[in-house]
Structures are given as C-alpha cells and as structure tokens.
C-alpha cells in the first residue's frame, strides 16, 4: 500500500469518526466555558497562595507550598474536564456537576466571610454551570447510551 492510499484511508476514517460524534448543544458549549473560567479561578487563587507562601504570609510555608501545588493540579484537572465537556464526552458530566456543587459551596462560605469579590462570581458561575449542564439538550448529549422517552417506559 502506498503512502498516498494510507493517507486517503486515514482521512476517510477521520471523516467517519467526525460524523459519529454527537452535535454539541449551545448550552454545553457554555458549560465548557464556565468550567474553563472556574479552572482559571482556581489557578489564580493558587498563584495568590503561592505568592503569600513565598512572601512569608502563610501560616506555615510548607502548607502554603502544598496548597499551591494542589491548587495548580486541580486547575489542570478542571481544564481537562472542560475539554471533555466541550468535546461532548460522557465521562465529563459527573466531574463537571461535582465542580459546580463544590464551587457553589465554597462561594457560600466566601459570602459568609464577606469576601464578595470571590463569592459572588463563584456563585453565579456555579448556578450557570448547573443550568447549562442540566438542560435537556446537554443531558441528552452527555448521556451514555439511548435515553428512554416516557412512551418507551410505558410499553
């Protein structure tokens, strides 16, 4: 087989794979953007924690460094989940929903501590993230296997 026919075969396979991918609803694109913003927020908070640790303003320098590293790793994972949501990967739905839940809880704690500059945007993102992930079009796109309609369940 020549290199030209191998290239043509690869192109046909990739075209067939693209046709098999489910269409991404607009709400799911919004969910991916929200997840990306949350990843950026965690990264920014981690950098601020690292700056505080380096400046000696952390309770313990070692814990400040550990929090920075954990936060940066978390931001990377959240970015990966955002990519999964954007690519309509079914595995990404649960981590994305758990991210919204965690973001909402942390935002409420921040609001109770009068940290409105971090709490309000976090809560808005969490609510918007839940809304975009739970609309029927997003739920259907991220479902594993066919969804049963009410008519299918009756008979």
Q: How is 48-61 classified by DSSP, letter by letter?
A: HHHHHHHTT-SSSH
Query: Please, which pLDDT band fits residue 62 given cuts at 50, 70 and 90?
Result: confident
Look over the chain and give the mean of its residue pLDDT values, rounded to a whole number: 85
- Quick one: average pLDDT of 12-19? 54
Query: Please, which pLDDT band fits residue 58 given cuts at 50, 70 and 90?
Result: confident
Residue 74 near residue 42, CB atoms below 8 Å = yes
Predicted local distance difference test score (pLDDT) of residue 153: 56
Query: Please, which pLDDT band fits residue 82 given cuts at 50, 70 and 90?
Result: very high
Enumerate long-range contacts of 111-118, CB under 8 Å, 24 or more apart.
Answer: 118/41, 118/45
Tens-digit pLDDT profile for residues 85-126: 999 999 999 999 999 999 999 999 999 999 999 999 999 999
- Quick one: average pLDDT of 129-148? 84
Which residue, among 66, 68, 77, 82, has the nearest Cα to 132 in the 3D structure?
82
Which residue, among 99, 85, 100, has the nearest Cα to 131 in the 3D structure?
100
Which residue, among 56, 54, 50, 83, has the nearest Cα to 68 in the 3D structure?
50
Total-model pTM: 0.75
Tell me how long the chain is.
Answer: 155
Query: Please, which pLDDT band fits residue 57 given cuts at 50, 70 and 90?
Result: confident
Predicted local distance difference test score (pLDDT) of residue 99: 96
**Residue 151 pLDDT > 80, yes or no?**
no
**Residue 3 pLDDT > 90, yes or no?**
no
């Amino acid at each position: 087989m020549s290199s030209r026919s191998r290239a043509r075969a690869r192109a046909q396979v990739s075209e067939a794979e693209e046709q098999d991918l489910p269409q991404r609803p607009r709400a799911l694109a919004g969910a991916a953007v929200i997840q990306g913003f949350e990843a950026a927020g965690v990264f920014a908070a981690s950098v601020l924690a690292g700056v505080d640790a380096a400046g000696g303003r952390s309770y313990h320098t070692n814990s400040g460094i550990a929090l920075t590293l954990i936060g940066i790793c978390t931001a990377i994972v959240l970015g990966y989940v955002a990519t999964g949501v954007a690519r309509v990967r079914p595995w990404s739905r649960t981590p994305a929903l758990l991210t919204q839940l965690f973001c909402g809880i942390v935002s409420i704690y921040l609001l109770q501590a009068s940290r409105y500059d971090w709490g309000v945007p976090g809560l808005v993102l969490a609510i918007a993230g839940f809304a975009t992930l739970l609309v029927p079009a997003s739920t259907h796109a991220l479902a594993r296997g066919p969804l049963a309609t009410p008519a299918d369940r009756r008979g």
